[in-house]
C-alpha cells in the first residue's frame, strides 16, 4: 500500500485498509470479490466484501470520485432515494510505482437489483412499464429537491420490489448538479429527453440480445416516462382555483397527494381580485406519506407501496376485531405482534434472503387472495403460508446482501510500510391469523 494513500470516509472502517488498493480493480482476487448482478457503467465497477457487508467500488478520477461522494451526501441529507456513500480512496499506486485510479466506495443497497436482473429470461411489457413508472417517480423526487441528473437511465438506477411495483434509487450521481433555487422547466425537460433516449436504447439492446418479449415497442415504453412524469409533476405542483364555497377541494387535493405517497409540508392560498375565488398551490411536497405513518405506528421502515399495503391490512384488522374507536397505536401494536411478525417468523431461516419481510407479507396476502378465488372460499392463513413457502418462495433467487450503516465524514492520511433465528419455544397461535 502506498504511503500517499488517503481515505475520505463517513467513518473509517478498518476493513478498508485490508483491501488490495495497490492492485488494479480488474485484477482483485476472488477472495475479495462478491459476484452480484450489476448494471452497465462507463467505469469499471465491482462488488467487494467489507467487514461483513457488501460495497460497490468504482474506479474513476479523484476529482470525479470526490464530487460524486459529496453529491451523494447532499442527496442523502435531502432524503432523496440514492445509494449510501462509504469512502473515496485516493493516492493509489501499483506495485510498480505507477499511479492507479481513485475509487469511490458505496454501500450495496439491500434487496436491490439492476433492471437487467429483474427478469429471468425475457422482459415483459408490464415489467418494463413498471420500471419506467418507478424511474419517473424517482425523477420527480430528484427534481423536487433541485437535482439535475444529466444522465437518466435504467442502468444508472437500482430497483427494489415494492408490493407489486418497483421503487427506484439513484446509483450514479457523477453527472448531477444541485440547484438551490430549483430547476427550470428546460432543465427538467432535458433530463426527460435524455431518459427517453436512454431507455429506448436500453430496451432495444435487450431486443438485440433476444431478451425482449415479442410485441414490445421500445420507443412506446420509453415514451411512457413522459406521461408518467408530467402527470405526477402536475399532481404535485399545479395551482388550482375554485370558489370560496368549494373549500372541500382543499381536503380533496391533500387526499389525492396522500394517495400518491406525498405529504404537503406547506400550502399557499390567496383570494383573487374579485374576492369570490381562492387559488391554492402546494409549496413544499415531501414523499413518503404512508412510510411515515407506518413508522410512527409500528416502527417498520419499508417502501411506500408496501407501507400502503400494510396499512390497509392494519385498518382491515382494526375493523375485523371491532375496535374502530380504539387507540390507533395500541391496535397497530396488536396487529404487529398478532399478524405481521408471526408471518415473517414463519419463513424458514434459510429462505429469508429471498425477499425483505414487507414484500413477503405482501406476497402472502396476494397468494391468499388467489387461493381463495380459486377455491371459492376463504383459505386459512396457515395453509396459505405452507403453499406460499413451498410453491413460490423456495423457487425465488436470493435478493439480499449484508450491509451496515454509515456515519459522519472524516478525511485521514494512511501511513503504511439480519434477522435472528426464531426461538423454537415461540409458539404461534394460527387462530389469530385466520
DSSP 43-71: S-EEEEEETTEEEEEEEE-HHHHHHHHHH
- Residue 362, pLDDT score: 92
**In this predicted model, which residue has the larger pLDDT, 242 or 55?**
55
Q: Where do the H-state alpha helices sit in 160-210?
A: 185-208
pLDDT of residue 215 exceeding 50: yes
Q: Share the mean pLDDT of the chain.
A: 82
From the candidate CATH numbers 1.10.275.10, 1.10.630.10, 3.10.580.10, 1.10.510.10, the one assigned to the domain spanning 112-237: 1.10.510.10
Beta strands 157-162 and 165-170, pairing class: antiparallel
Cell of 212: 425482449
- Residue 118, pLDDT score: 75
User: pTM for the full model?
Assistant: 0.72
- In Å, the largest CA–CA distance within the chain is 80
> Where residue 412 falls among pLDDT bands split at 50, 70, 90?
very low
**In this predicted model, which residue has the larger pLDDT, 313 or 411?**
313
- Residue 70, pLDDT score: 96
Q: With contact defined as beta carbons under 8 Å apart, do 48 and 57 qualify?
A: yes
- State the Cα–Cα distance between residues 115 and 109, nearest whole angstrom: 14
Q: Tell me the per-residue pLDDT of 92-103, one tens digit each, with 9 for 90 and over.
A: 999 888 999 999
> Where residue 208 falls among pLDDT bands split at 50, 70, 90?
confident
> Where residue 37 falls among pLDDT bands split at 50, 70, 90?
low
**In this predicted model, which residue has the larger pLDDT, 58 or 429?**
58
Q: DSSP label at 417?
A: -
* Secondary-structure percent of the chain, ordered helix, strand, coil, rounded to 5: 45, 20, 35
**In this predicted model, which residue has the larger pLDDT, 30 or 256?**
30
- State the Cα–Cα distance between residues 370 and 376, nearest whole angstrom: 10
- Residue 378, pLDDT score: 84
Could you tell me which CATH class the domain 6-110+402-413 is placed in?
alpha beta
Sheet with 410-413, strands from edge to edge, namely: 33-34, 45-50, 53-60, 102-107, 85-90, 6-9, 410-413
Closest CA to 316 of 339, 344, 282: 339
Q: Tell me the per-residue pLDDT of 260-298, one tens digit each, with 9 for 90 and over.
A: 777 776 667 677 777 666 666 665 556 788 888 898 899
Of all residues in the chain, what percent carry a pLDDT higher than 70? Answer: 83
- State the Cα–Cα distance between residues 303 and 167, nearest whole angstrom: 7
Q: Among 167-171, 276-280, 358-362, 413-417, which is the least confidently predicted range?
A: 413-417
Of all residues in the chain, what percent carry a pLDDT higher than 90? Answer: 41
- State the Cα–Cα distance between residues 323 and 311, nearest whole angstrom: 15
Q: Tell me the per-residue pLDDT of 150-164, one tens digit each, with 9 for 90 and over.
A: 999 999 999 998 877
- State the Cα–Cα distance between residues 398 and 394, nearest whole angstrom: 10
CA atoms within 13 A on the CB side of 392: 19
4 has which bridge partners? Answer: none
pLDDT of residue 73 exceeding 80: yes
- Residue 324, pLDDT score: 56
Give the position of cell 415504453.
221
> Where residue 39 falls among pLDDT bands split at 50, 70, 90?
low
- The mean pLDDT of 36-62, rounded to a whole number, is 85
Closest CA to 82 of 74, 92, 72: 72
Radius of gyration of the chain measured on its C-alpha atoms: 24
- State the Cα–Cα distance between residues 232 and 150, nearest whole angstrom: 20
- Residue 290, pLDDT score: 85
Segments making up each domain of the chain, as ranges: 6-110+402-413, 112-237, 240-287, 290-400
182 has which bridge partners? Answer: none
pLDDT of residue 172 exceeding 60: yes
**In this predicted model, which residue has the larger pLDDT, 395 or 340?**
340
- Residue 276, pLDDT score: 66
- Residue 399, pLDDT score: 67
pLDDT of residue 411 exceeding 60: no
- The mean pLDDT of 176-200, rounded to a whole number, is 95
Q: With contact defined as beta carbons under 8 Å apart, do 406 and 10 qualify?
A: yes
- State the Cα–Cα distance between residues 361 and 385, nearest whole angstrom: 10
Amino acid at each position: 500500500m502506498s504511503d500517499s494513500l488517503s481515505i475520505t470516509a463517513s467513518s473509517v472502517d478498518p476493513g478498508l485498509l485490508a483491501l488490495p488498493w495497490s492492485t488494479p480493480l480488474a485484477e482483485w482476487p476472488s477472495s475479495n470479490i462478491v459476484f452480484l448482478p450489476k448494471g452497465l457503467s462507463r467505469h469499471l465497477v465491482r462488488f467487494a466484501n467489507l467487514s461483513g457487508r457488501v460495497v460497490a467500488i468504482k474506479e474513476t478520477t479523484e476529482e470525479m470520485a470526490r464530487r460524486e461522494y459529496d453529491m451523494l451526501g447532499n442527496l442523502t441529507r435531502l432524503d432523496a432515494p440514492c445509494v449510501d456513500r462509504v469512502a473515496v480512496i485516493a493516492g493509489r499506486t501499483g506495485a510498480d510505482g505507477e499511479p492507479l485510479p481513485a475509487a469511490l466506495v458505496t454501500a450495496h443497497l439491500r434487496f436491490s437489483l439492476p433492471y437487467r436482473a429483474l427478469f429471468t429470461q425475457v422482459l415483459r411489457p408490464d415489467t418494463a412499464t413498471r420500471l419506467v413508472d418507478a424511474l419517473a417517480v424517482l425523477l420527480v423526487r430528484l427534481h423536487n429537491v433541485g437535482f439535475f441528473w444529466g444522465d437518466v437511465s435504467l442502468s444508472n438506477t437500482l430497483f427494489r420490489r415494492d408490493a407489486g411495483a418497483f421503487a427506484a434509487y439513484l446509483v450514479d450521481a457523477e453527472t448531477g448538479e444541485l440547484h438551490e433555487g430549483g430547476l427550470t422547466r428546460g432543465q427538467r425537460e432535458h433530463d426527460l429527453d435524455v431518459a427517453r433516449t436512454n431507455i429506448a436504447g436500453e430496451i432495444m439492446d435487450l431486443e438485440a440480445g433476444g431478451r425482449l418479449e415479442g410485441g414490445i415497442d421500445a420507443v412506446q415504453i420509453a415514451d411512457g416516462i413522459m406521461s408518467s412524469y408530467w402527470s405526477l409533476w402536475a399532481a404535485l405542483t399545479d395551482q388550482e382555483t375554485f370558489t370560496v364555497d368549494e373549500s372541500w377541494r382543499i381536503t380533496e387535493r391533500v387526499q389525492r397527494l396522500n394517495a400518491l405517497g406525498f405529504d404537503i409540508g406547506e400550502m399557499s392560498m390567496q383570494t383573487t381580485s374579485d374576492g369570490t375565488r381562492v387559488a391554492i398551490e402546494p409549496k413544499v411536497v415531501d414523499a413518503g406519506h404512508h412510510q411515515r405513518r407506518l413508522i410512527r405506528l409500528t416502527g417498520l421502515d419499508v417502501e411506500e407501496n408496501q407501507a400502503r399495503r400494510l396499512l390497509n391490512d392494519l385498518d382491515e384488522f382494526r375493523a375485523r376485531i371491532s375496535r374502530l374507536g380504539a387507540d390507533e397505536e395500541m391496535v397497530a401494536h396488536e396487529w404487529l405482534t398478532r399478524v405481521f411478525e408471526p408471518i415473517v417468523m414463519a419463513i424458514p431461516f434459510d429462505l429469508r434472503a429471498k425477499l425483505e419481510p414487507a414484500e413477503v407479507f405482501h406476497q402472502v396476502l396476494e397468494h391468499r387472495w388467489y387461493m381463495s378465488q380459486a377455491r371459492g372460499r376463504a383459505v386459512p392463513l396457515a395453509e396459505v403460508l405452507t403453499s406460499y413457502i413451498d410453491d413460490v418462495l423456495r423457487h425465488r433467487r436470493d435478493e439480499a446482501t449484508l450491509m451496515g450503516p454509515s456515519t459522519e465524514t472524516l478525511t485521514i492520511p494512511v501511513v503504511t510500510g439480519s434477522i435472528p433465528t426464531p426461538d423454537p419455544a415461540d409458539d404461534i397461535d394460527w387462530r389469530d391469523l385466520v
